[in-house]
């Protein structure tokens, strides 16, 4: 397992040498959505608190770094940490409101959706933030401005982000923190009865998750050179963030990554071919059918199933 993992990372590092520019873009998106999915996985998967408004953190992070860069000339390399911190603050506020009374899962879902919508409406109405049209970043190609002539740099940054989030998830999983989160997810009342401070650990998971997602917002903004409230804070982005770890396997280390490798190419290819034919919603219909199918037939996600299948084969050949 360890060797396969190391081999996989080495292969991904070497890969840009042979990729076409379209394939490079595809991989950047796979890594980036894998990163966002992994960040969500910490609170949504391990802690089992289904946030349906993670786009809010992408938006806060992206807008913060962009505004700091435009208004104060602060490099996005620092701005992304400030954006992450502000996103974490928002995460803490939402978490406090949602977890305070130990309200059942769906309240949290609705609360996160509502907060993301509040942010979207608010940002759309603040002229200093560009209003409904949003902000545009002029391309300078200056690495200090988080802009690169060579697409491969974005590839490595996205890969590093995904690996970083996975490392954090791995560290959480191995520690007592991860065990507490699993206990809270499976049976919160029982966990509390055993002395686990559910509020504290859910808050922690939320803050870590929203910080990472906020950092991702900077990458998103500076990779696309533009920020619109409807895309950055919108519910569709939240769905994109959720669906990959769920399909891959929420609460597992490799679920979000596997989910992104399955879904991102699917989404991009159907967007490219069906969207050009004027069939706008086609890839979202596929998403919907996939979600329904996963819930009904594969509720634990693809990764646990894959792992069992591999283990069986290993057992058979031995």
Partner 1 sequence: MDLTLVVQGVLSGLLFGGVYSLMAVGLTLIFGVMRVVNFAHGDMMVWGMYLAYMLATRAGVDPYVSFLVCAAALFALGLLVQRGLVDRIVDAPHEMQILLMLGVALVLENVALLAFGPEPTRVRSPLASATLWLGPVFVDVARLVTFLVAVTLTSALGAFLYRTDLGRTIRAAGDNTYGALVIGTDVRRVYAVAFGVGAACVGAAGALVSPILPFQPSTGLSLSVASFNIVIIGGMGSLLGAFVGGLLVSLAESLGAVFLKPSLKELFSFSLLIVILLFRPAGLFGRRSA
List the end-to-end C-alpha distance of the chain, in Å, as a whole number.
16
For the CB of residue 97, give the shortest distance to partner 1 in the complex, in Å.
6
Interaction between residue 124 and partner 1 (CB under 8 A) = yes
Stretch that binds partner 1, among 18-26, 102-110, 164-172, 254-262 (CB under 8 A): 102-110
Interaction between residue 143 and partner 1 (CB under 8 A) = no
* CA–CA separation, 165 and 167 (whole Å): 5
Strands 135-136 and 226-227: antiparallel
Stretch that binds partner 1, among 8-16, 206-214, 263-271, 277-285 (CB under 8 A): 277-285
* CA–CA separation, 162 and 259 (whole Å): 13
Q: Which residue matches tokens 């991009």?
A: 268
Q: Specify the residue, 51 or 69, whose C-beta has the smaller distance to partner 1.
A: 51
Stretch that binds partner 1, among 63-71, 82-90, 117-125, 142-150 (CB under 8 A): 117-125
Interaction between residue 289 and partner 1 (CB under 8 A) = yes
Stretch that binds partner 1, among 4-12, 14-22, 106-114, 146-154 (CB under 8 A): 106-114
Span 211-270, contacts to partner 1 by CB under 8 A:
235, 239, 242, 246
**Secondary structure element (H or E) that encloses residue 226, with its range:** strand 226-227
DSSP state string for 46-105: IS----S-THHHHHHHHHHHHHHHHHH---HHHHHHHHHHHHHHHHHHHHHHHHTTT--H
Strand, coil or helix: what is 261? helix
Cβ neighbourhood burial of 81 (10 Å; 0-12, 13-18, 19+): middle
Of 5, 299, 309, 312, which one interacts with partner 1 (CB under 8 A)? Answer: 299
For the CB of residue 284, give the shortest distance to partner 1 in the complex, in Å.
4
Residues in contact with partner 1 by CB under 8 A are 48, 50, 52, 97, 100-101, 103-107, 109-111, 113-114, 117-118, 121-122, 124-125, 132, 235, 239, 242, 246, 279-282, 284-285, 287-292, 294-296, 299
């Amino acid at each position: 397992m360890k060797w396969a993992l190391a081999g996989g990372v080495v292969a991904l590092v070497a890969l840009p040498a042979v990729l076409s520019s379209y394939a490079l873009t595809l991989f950047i998106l796979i890594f980036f959505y894998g990163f966002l999915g992994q960040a969500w996985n910490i609170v949504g998967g391990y802690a089992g608190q289904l946030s349906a408004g993670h786009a809010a953190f992408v938006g806060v992070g992206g807008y913060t770094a962009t505004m700091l860069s435009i208004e104060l000339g602060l490099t996005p390399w620092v701005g992304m940490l400030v954006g992450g911190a502000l996103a974490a603050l928002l995460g803490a506020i939402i978490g406090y409101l949602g977890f305070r009374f130990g309200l059942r899962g769906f309240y949290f879902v609705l609360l996160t959706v509502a907060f993301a919508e509040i942010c979207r409406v608010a940002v759309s109405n603040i002229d200093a933030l560009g209003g409904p049209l949003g902000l545009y970043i002029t391309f300078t190609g200056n690495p200090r401005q988080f802009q690169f002539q060579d697409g491969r740099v974005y590839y490595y940054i996205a890969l590093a982000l995904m690996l970083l989030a996975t490392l954090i998830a791995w560290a959480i999983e191995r520690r007592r923190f991860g065990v507490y989160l699993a206990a809270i997810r499976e049976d919160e009342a029982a966990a509390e009865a055993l002395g686990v401070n559910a509020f504290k650990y859910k808050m922690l998971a939320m803050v870590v998750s929203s910080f990472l997602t906020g950092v991702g917002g900077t990458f998103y903004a500076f990779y696309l050179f533009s920020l619109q409230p409807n895309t950055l804070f919108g519910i569709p982005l939240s769905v994109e963030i959720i669906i990959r770890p769920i399909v891959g396997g929420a609460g597992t280390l490799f679920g979000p990554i596997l989910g992104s490798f399955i879904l991102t190419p699917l989404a991009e290819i159907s967007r490219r071919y069906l969207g050009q034919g004027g069939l706008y919603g086609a890839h979202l219909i596929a998403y919907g059918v996939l979600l329904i199918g996963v819930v009904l037939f594969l509720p634990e996600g693809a990764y646990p199933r894959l792992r069992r299948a591999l283990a069986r084969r290993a057992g058979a050949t031995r």
